[in-house]
Amino acid sequence: MTIPLFDIKTPLAPLQATIIKRVTEVIESGRFIFGPEVEGFEHELAEYVGTRDAIGVGNGTEALMIAARALGVGPGDEVVVPSFTFYASAEAIAAIGARPVFCDIDKDTRNVTPDSVRPALSAKTKAIVAVDLCGVPAEVPAIRKEFGLPVIEDAAQALGASLDGQRAGALGDIGAISFFPSKNLGAFGDGGAITTDDPELAEKVRALRFHGSRNKESFEYIGYNSRLDAIQAAILRIELAHLDEWCSGRKAAYAAYLKAGLAEYVGVCTPPQGSDPAWYLCMNTHPQADAVIAKLKAAGVSARSYYRKPLHVQPAMAPYVNAGPQPPLPVTDELAATNLVVPISPVLTEAQATEVVAALAAN
């Protein structure tokens, strides 16, 4: 028996009949772009996250691009971004003409903190991207307070997590969420959303996702065609009602790992005080990570490393790294070399967690 890294199918299986029925209704309605399903989902997502607005877009990458554009980021600006994250976190900044400046992360939380951001700031810094890596919320309120700069919360991996009772997606000035199928709330294809409490930002986001127009008559910005479609929205509405239950399953699986002794064999994450992570990934460290991954695979456990080549050494980022000072990133370099990710999902059982830890323990 192999334990897969992700299990997308099992949690969705009981919802399949309901989903097919709702998708059929959307097909029969003939409304595929915007319309009541998208509006309904946006309303329910805003309520879930706890922001005034949630705005559906095409995917998480475009959510980041549009969020940064709404904040006024553009050519000549710098945006601080962690290097240890999925490529899109920085690609989105470069794609709108600004310079991503890479910062390090905290050794314990593996997220950006005021101390890790500070060396990357300059007079040109227009915003900071804080990624809630692996579903662990970044200490965004502390970063906002410390620097007074707008923070884009990349909550692509963290929907369902919270920090001091505030949900991921509501921690920054503006939040970006991905509904890529493997994410905590996964569409049947691509999808994304932007969350914010600021009505002016929300207005601008709504225009930017539709060709820079508020009324289909006057086009104010060079925008995007970036929409969440009605079929995905209808599916996401059904799933959203189960997100808390799925996140509870992820937390139970993580607790089972700790109970089985995970921390005796690998370095584990220390989430920030007051946080309730949603455990999108169970990322650990080991000095011989590749050998451990090979051992796990031989025992029938899917495991892999993530971001082994962090963003500041990716070829496409070289011109941005070379465009000015770039602080050293020792924690990033170490985590990139030593991380190993083991399976987690809403339905990973205690027996499976015990089996994974037993495979780690074996010589």
Ligand X SMILES: *Cc1c(COP(=O)(O)O)cnc(C)c1O
Binding site for ligand X (CB under 6 A): 59-61, 85-86, 88-89, 131, 154, 156-157, 178, 180, 190, 192
Query: Measured from the CB atom, is 170 or 292 closer to ligand X?
Result: 170
Question: CB within 8 A of 119, min separation 6: which ones?
Answer: 103, 104, 327
By C-alpha distance, which of 189, 85, 80 is closest to 136? 85
Beta carbon nearer to ligand X, 60 or 267 = 60
CA 271 – CA 113 distance, rounded (Å): 12
Instruction: Quote the least distance from Cβ 47 to ligand X, whole Å.
Output: 22
Q: What is the closest distance, in whole angstroms, from the C-beta atom of residue 158 to ligand X in the complex?
A: 9
Closer of 61 and 275 to ligand X (Cβ): 61
The span from the CA of 164 to the CA of 273, in Å, is 8
Local structure of 55: helix, strand or coil? strand
Nearer to ligand X among residue 232 and residue 338 (C-beta): 232
Nearer to ligand X, 135 or 352 (CB): 135
- Minimum gap (Å) between residue 134 Cβ and ligand X: 9
**In the complex, minimum distance from the CB of residue 191 to ligand X, in angstroms, rounded to a whole number:** 7
Rounded CA-CA distance 96/103 in Å is 19
State the minimum distance, in angstroms, from the CB of residue 64 to ligand X.
Answer: 6
- The Cα–Cα gap between 237 and 142 comes to 32
Tokens of 354: 């015990």
Cα 232 to Cα 72, 124, 182, 191, 251, distances in angstroms: 29, 38, 14, 7, 26
CB of 51 vs ligand X, minimal distance in Å = 18
CB of 351 to ligand X, least distance (A): 29
Q: Which of 88/292 has CB closer to ligand X?
A: 88
Please give the structure tokens belonging to residue 142: 């502390």
Residue 290 and residue 315: Cα distance in Å, rounded? 23
Nearer to ligand X, 78 or 190 (CB): 190
107: its two tokens: 């050794």
Give the Å distances, CA to CA, from 100 to 114, 121, 253, 321. 17, 11, 35, 8
Minimum distance from CB of 247 to ligand X (Å)?
Answer: 16
Nearer to ligand X, 168 or 292 (CB): 168
Q: Are 202 and 55 in contact (CB under 8 A)?
A: yes
User: Which residue's CB comes closest to ligand X?
Assistant: 60
In DSSP terms, 282 is beta-bridged to 342
**What distance in Å separates the CA atoms of residue 305 and residue 23, rounded to the nearest whole number?**
36
